[in-house]
């Protein structure tokens, strides 16, 4: 492929911004522009050279775009956008509502097949890279158990729950994998662990003037569902510290497969992500899968695909010969 792959970004939040940055790190890709439902003049892009267009004008770009990277949300944007746009374009999304993947796949597959286009759904890290590692784990060690741990990561829902407590001026909550649970899994104990047993919660809270620290701590650690069932730590900090130390969106986690290849012989596979920015990493994965989508489309394939259907080599800008010589 000597021509650069021409990419359009649909939607410009944290994910769209991350894709814009990531494309700049990949010399074989070219950003045609950002397509937004907002007034293009009101969208402030990271790179002033990035063109911004109205989403309504997207169809006129059909001949100028190889792949659209869809950066909307899984709740209401992607269930409509991915099938709609897959009729006209090669598309990639990071749809992440696990329970609705089969339904999303079916609607996208119908649309992409009808349009003769390629659509890769649910790229990202979970679903995505973690899913691939769950699959490899059970295919290679059929006699074993798989564990997924999330964190250390910012949880929006739990941060919001803290902010709703009267007397709290600001707060963030991180979900952490429980060290104790990880050690038991790594040791090959194959324990039965609920999501609760696998995770701890850490809160950083800024109080309003005059708020009662010990009463608020009690409100937090006893909050049903959100904090009560977990090992929860609460730190009270200043507004300055919150702004300085907790503005990022870190995340990550582990997938561990522990099994026996014969009686008494234990084997452990562990895949771990430590992400400085959750949206930027997801964007980086989306961009690699956009390259794969362009290649599948160039081969004349069509329909919906997931990361399970994509050969690793398609993600790399290197040729198969180069990959075999340099990375195998």
Tell me phi and psi for residue 129, to 5 degrees.
Answer: -60, -40
In contact, 210 and 201? CB cutoff 8 Å:
no
State in angstroms the smallest separation of the CB of 186 from its own copies.
8
**Neighbouring residues of 121: CB distance < 8 A, sequence distance ≥ 6:** 82, 92, 93, 95, 101, 104, 105, 108, 304, 305, 306
Which residue, 55 or 323, is less far from its own copies as judged by CB?
323
Phi-psi group of 124: left, alpha or beta (phi > 0 → left; psi -120 to 50 → alpha; rest → beta): left
Closer CB to its own copies, 191 or 308, in the complex = 308
Min dist CB 114 to its own copies, Å, is 20
Q: Shortest Cβ distance from residue 8 to its own copies (Å)?
A: 20
Q: How far is the CB of 228 from its own copies (least distance, A)?
A: 30
29 versus 162: smaller Cβ distance to its own copies: 29
Compare residues 233 and 316 and give the one whose CB is closer to its own copies. Answer: 316
- For the chain, how many residues are written? 328
- State the minimum distance, in angstroms, from the CB of residue 207 to its own copies: 30
The least CB distance from residue 131 to its own copies, in Å, is 5
Q: Is it true that the peptide bond before 152 is cis, omega within 30 degrees of 0? A: yes
Distance CA 152, CA 200 (A): 9
Closest CA to 173 of 226, 120, 129: 226
Nearer to its own copies, 88 or 152 (CB): 152
Pairing of strands 91-92, 67-70: parallel
Nearer to its own copies, 33 or 128 (CB): 128
Token readout for 298 is 């160039």
In the complex, the residues that contact its own copies under the rule CB under 8 A are 18, 21-22, 25-26, 98, 101-102, 105, 122, 127, 129, 131-132, 134-136, 138-143, 186, 248, 260-262, 265-277, 280-281, 283-285, 288, 291, 306-313, 315-317, 320-321, 323-325, 327-328
Question: Which residues have C-beta within 8 Å of that of residue 214, sequence separation ≥ 6?
Answer: none
Nearest distance, CB of residue 272 and its own copies, angstroms: 4
Closest approach, Cβ 176 to its own copies, in A, equals: 16
Name the residue nearer to its own copies (CB basis): 11 or 279.
Answer: 279
Which residues, at least 6 apart from 222, have a Cβ–Cβ distance to it below 8 Å?
A: 228
Distance (Å, whole) CA 247 – CA 89: 36
Q: Around Cβ 112, how many Cβ atoms within 10 Å?
A: 27
Nearer to its own copies, 71 or 168 (CB): 71
């Amino acid at each position: 492929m000597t021509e650069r792959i021409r990419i359009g970004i649909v939607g410009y939040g944290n994910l769209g911004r991350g894709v814009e940055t990531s494309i700049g790190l990949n010399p074989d890709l070219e950003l045609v522009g950002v397509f937004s439902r907002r007034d293009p003049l009101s969208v402030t892009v990271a790179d002033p050279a990035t063109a911004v267009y109205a989403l309504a004008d997207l169809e006129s770009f059909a001949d100028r775009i190889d792949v659209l990277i869809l950066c909307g949300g899984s709740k209401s944007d992607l269930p409509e956008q991915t099938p709609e746009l897959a009729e006209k374009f090669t598309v990639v999304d990071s749809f992440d509502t696990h329970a609705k993947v089969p339904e999303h796949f079916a609607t996208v597959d119908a649309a992409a097949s009808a349009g003769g286009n390629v659509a890769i759904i649910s790229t990202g890290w979970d679903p995505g890279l973690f899913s691939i590692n769950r699959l490899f784990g059970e295919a290679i060690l059929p006699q074993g158990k798989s564990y997924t741990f999330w964190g250390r990561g910012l949880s929006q829902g739990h941060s919001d729950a803290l902010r709703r407590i009267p007397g709290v001026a600001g707060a963030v909550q991180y979900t952490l994998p429980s060290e104790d649970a990880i050690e038991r899994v790594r040791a090959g104990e194959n324990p039965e662990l609920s999501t609760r047993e696998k995770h701890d919660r850490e809160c950083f809270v800024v109080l309003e003037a005059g708020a009662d620290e010990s009463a608020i701590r009690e409100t937090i650690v006893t909050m049903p569902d959100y904090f009560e069932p977990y090992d929860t730590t609460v730190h009270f900090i200043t507004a300055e510290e919150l702004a300085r130390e907790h503005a990022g969106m870190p995340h990550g986690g582990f997938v561990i497969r522990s099994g026996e290849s014969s009686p008494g012989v234990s084997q452990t596979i562990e895949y771990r992500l430590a992400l400085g920015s959750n949206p930027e990493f997801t964007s980086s994965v989306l961009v690699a899968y956009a390259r794969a989508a362009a290649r599948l489309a160039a081969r004349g394939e069509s329909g919906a695909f997931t990361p399970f259907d994509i050969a690793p080599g398609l993600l790399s800008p290197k040729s198969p010969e180069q990959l075999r010589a340099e990375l195998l």
